[in-house]
Chains A and B, each alone.
Chain A
Amino acid sequence: MGAITRRQVEHVARLARLELTEEEIDLFTTQLGDILKWVDKLQELDTTDVEPTAHTIPLRNVMRKDEVKPSWPKEEILKNASDEHNGFFRVPRILEEE
């Protein structure tokens, strides 16, 4: 068994709303498996004295003042909308109520 199963690839694809063909699933199972094997290889390094990090650049506390800046014109904002109505983005209906 590889580092990742077909089933896991299908699951991840579904979460990302990606529709994959059988061939693509095979391909990605192999490719993702290879990537994970490389990560396993990295695990062999001794990192006892290394601080865990989530960021590659040693920055911290990058913040801005709480100041209002002009927003974009509504026309610009809606320009890329696939559909609009009365200044709203219009999307397929979402059901919420019982």
Chain B
Amino acid sequence: MNYETIIGLEVHAELLTASKLWCGCSTAFGNEPNTQVCPICLGLPGTLPVLNEKAVEYAVKAGLALGCRIAEWSRFDRKQYFYPDLPKAYQISQYDLPLCREGRVVITVDGLSREVGILRVHLEEEAGKLVHSGESLHGSEYSLVDYNRGGIPLIEIVTAPDLRSPEEARIFLERLRTVLRYIGVSDCKMEEGSLRCDANVNLRIKDEEGEYRTPIVEIKNLNSFRAVERALTYEVRRQVDEFMEKGRPPAGTDLSRTKVTAGWNEALGRTYVQRQKELADDYRYFPDPDLPPVVLSSEQVEKWRAELPELPEEKESRFRREYGLPAYDAAVLTASRAVADLFEETARLTGDAKMVSNWVMGEVFRLLKGAGDDLEQALRHCSITPAALAELLLFVKNERINANSGKEVLEEMYRTGKAATQIIAEKGLEQISGRDQLAGLVAEVIAAHPGVVEDIKNGKKAAIGFLVGQVMKATKGKANPKLVNELITQSLS
């Protein structure tokens, strides 16, 4: 069976403003329930929302970074539905006049560039948070609501149905996170819910009877990159199986407009059809009379465009050009701005970009991955700064410690936050690079292993490594291995 997977994403990202979208309540995460709430958050009668200018700036900057056209005229609409996390019984969102439209994001899949269309980016308010559990052992009759989150500014980013595999969807989402973090408009922490994703997926099946499209399934509230890829993989498989089992629906059935809403059960690893919210799609949008339209001059938009930092794509090609990095290394190092900054600043301090890229992509990444999937977060929360890393790498570069000791010191720096100099002094790791200091030891080792010496003289050059190892052992790893090698070779020739 020949089929094509069609995926489109709707991504919600919370903006990093200090205050909410319509009022001055704080957007801080993780505080006591209902302590960041005011009558505007609750939509009490007589209140009037006033737009946060920073949220507009951030939404437009996101649109610009995603290659969108920015609307000259934009406005807010009310989306009506009843749900306890929405105290006004409508969400203030944007309907037919979003702030940004028609952008594109370039992703790299298996070494090839693919362009993903962005249909729109609009600004809206976050809902409150429902807590379902913890009430009683016997299944509660209640849900609990915390409105601290209600009214935090969100952008919704809608892609064209351009993604062709679950892997592409994950790669796109990672790229989107990279871009939003570069420009500093969202911290995109999926585990805290500041980045969330709904995925629409169906199949275009081609067989001898012609082309058939399976009904679109929308999987809601995917909250990790892994979940996005797994849920989509499962759903594609399920739609294939369903088609194999049931075939086409009877002639005359029109499924093209049906859309099924599904959830994702992470523990069971499968999607499930959600009970349809009654009449959920009849949102009766209309312009919010409380909020005057937003009119942006091109001067304003161009000023914001000029404020954008170097974007990942530009940084990547500059790293290749400026530091002679291979394409792969440049892509990996620029996937996070914090990593890119660590690399670039450390390279400046040590004057050795190649060495720094090897250490960052090897040892530093190995340590950070122990702290979770999110390299950027792990890096921001650890003590490895460019200055600290450069200090260590200069010890290695100047052969004052050897590479293995360097790895040991880095691990200790990461664990304890101590400086390289201190750790090296404490552990006495500085290399023995004095010829006189080592000459005696080398002579002893040679004298102690006549058999090996014989082998070497008979042409088994690799056996030198054994003698070097013996010297390293005797110095507890502190000898300069290059020098030891040189001394042994000299004495045997």
In the complex, what's the smallest C-beta–C-beta distance from A94 to chain B, in angstroms? 5
Q: Which residues 353-393 in B have Cβ within 8 Å of A in the complex?
A: none
CB < 8 Å: which of B51, B143, B294 contacts A92? B143
Total chain B interface residues with beta-carbon distance under 8 A: 57
Q: How far does the alpha carbon of A63 sit from the alpha carbon of B36 in the complex, in Å? A: 21
Q: Does B272 contact A (CB under 8 A)?
A: yes
Residue of B with least CB distance to A91? B84
The residues of B that contact A92 with a CB separation of less than 8 Å are: 141-143
In the complex, what's the smallest C-beta–C-beta distance from B426 to chain A, in angstroms? 45
By the criterion CB–CB under 8 Å, are B34 and A74 in contact? yes
CB < 8 Å: which of A54, A71, A95 contacts B37? A71
Q: Does A38 contact B (CB under 8 A)?
A: no
By the criterion CB–CB under 8 Å, are A72 and B144 in contact? no
By the criterion CB–CB under 8 Å, are B34 and A89 in contact? yes
CB < 8 Å: which of B24, B274, B295 contacts A67? B24
Q: How far does the alpha carbon of A92 sit from the alpha carbon of B274 in the complex, in Å? A: 19
The residues of A that contact B56 with a CB separation of less than 8 Å are: 63
In the complex, what's the smallest C-beta–C-beta distance from A16 to chain B, in angstroms? 8
The residues of B that contact A90 with a CB separation of less than 8 Å are: 142-145
By the criterion CB–CB under 8 Å, are B142 and A66 in contact? no
The residues of A that contact B417 with a CB separation of less than 8 Å are: none
Q: Which residues 429-486 in B have Cβ within 8 Å of A in the complex?
A: none
Q: How far does the alpha carbon of A57 sit from the alpha carbon of B146 in the complex, in Å? A: 35
By the criterion CB–CB under 8 Å, are A15 and B17 in contact? no
Q: A15-B282, A60-B293 are in contact. Are A72 and B52 (CB under 8 A)?
A: no
Binary per-residue interface labels of chain A (40-77) against chain B in the complex, 1 for a CB within 8 Å, 0 otherwise: 00000000000000111101111111111111101001
Q: Does B147 contact A (CB under 8 A)?
A: yes
By the criterion CB–CB under 8 Å, are A72 and B39 in contact? yes
The residues of B that contact A72 with a CB separation of less than 8 Å are: 37-39
Q: How far does the alpha carbon of A98 sit from the alpha carbon of B263 in the complex, in Å? A: 8
Binary per-residue interface labels of chain B (12-35) against chain A in the complex, 1 for a CB within 8 Å, 0 otherwise: 000001110001111000001111
Instruction: Spot the interface stretch: B208-216, B284-292, B339-347.
Output: B284-292
Q: Does A14 contact B (CB under 8 A)?
A: yes
In the complex, what's the smallest C-beta–C-beta distance from B249 to chain A, in angstroms? 24
The residues of A that contact B293 with a CB separation of less than 8 Å are: 54-55, 60-61
By the criterion CB–CB under 8 Å, are B292 and A64 in contact? no
Q: Does A7 contact B (CB under 8 A)?
A: no
Q: How far does the alpha carbon of A94 sit from the alpha carbon of B83 in the complex, in Å? A: 9
The residues of B that contact A98 with a CB separation of less than 8 Å are: 263, 265, 272, 274
By the criterion CB–CB under 8 Å, are B35 and A74 in contact? yes
Q: A91-B145, A93-B142 are in contact. Are A54 and B279 (CB under 8 A)?
A: no
Q: Does B327 contact A (CB under 8 A)?
A: no
In the complex, what's the smallest C-beta–C-beta distance from B122 to chain A, in angstroms? 16
By the criterion CB–CB under 8 Å, are B33 and A95 in contact? no
Q: A54-B75, A94-B132 are in contact. Are A88 and B53 (CB under 8 A)?
A: no
Q: Does B82 contact A (CB under 8 A)?
A: yes
By the criterion CB–CB under 8 Å, are B38 and A64 in contact? no
Q: Which residues 258-296 in B have Cβ within 8 Å of A in the complex?
A: 263, 265, 272, 274-275, 279, 282, 284, 287, 289, 291-295
Residue of B with least CB distance to A17? B82
Q: Does A22 contact B (CB under 8 A)?
A: no
Q: A59-B292, A63-B50 are in contact. Are A93 and B39 (CB under 8 A)?
A: no
Q: Which residues 29-77 in B have Cβ within 8 Å of A in the complex?
A: 32-39, 41-42, 44, 50-56, 75
Q: A69-B19, A72-B37, A96-B263 are in contact. Are A85 and B144 (CB under 8 A)?
A: yes
The residues of B that contact A14 with a CB separation of less than 8 Å are: 279
Q: How far does the alpha carbon of A42 sit from the alpha carbon of B110 in the complex, in Å? A: 60
CB < 8 Å: which of A15, A69, A74, A88 contacts B24? A69
Most interface-central of B23, B34, B37, B265 (chain A CB within 10 A): B34
Residue of B with least CB distance to A85? B144
A-B contacts besides A67-B24, A71-B36, 11 pairs, CB < 8 Å: A15-B284, A55-B287, A61-B292, A63-B52, A71-B26, A77-B37, A78-B34, A88-B146, A90-B143, A98-B263, A98-B272
Residues in B lying within 8 Å of A, measured CB to CB:
17-19, 23-26, 32-39, 41-42, 44, 50-56, 75, 80, 82-84, 130-132, 135, 140-147, 263, 265, 272, 274-275, 279, 282, 284, 287, 289, 291-295
Report 15 cross-chain contacts, Cβ distance below 8 Å, ordered by A residue: A17-B82, A64-B53, A66-B55, A68-B25, A69-B25, A71-B35, A71-B37, A77-B147, A88-B33, A88-B131, A88-B145, A90-B145, A91-B84, A94-B130, A98-B274
The 3 closest A-B pairs by CB, nearest first: A69-B24, A54-B287, A66-B54
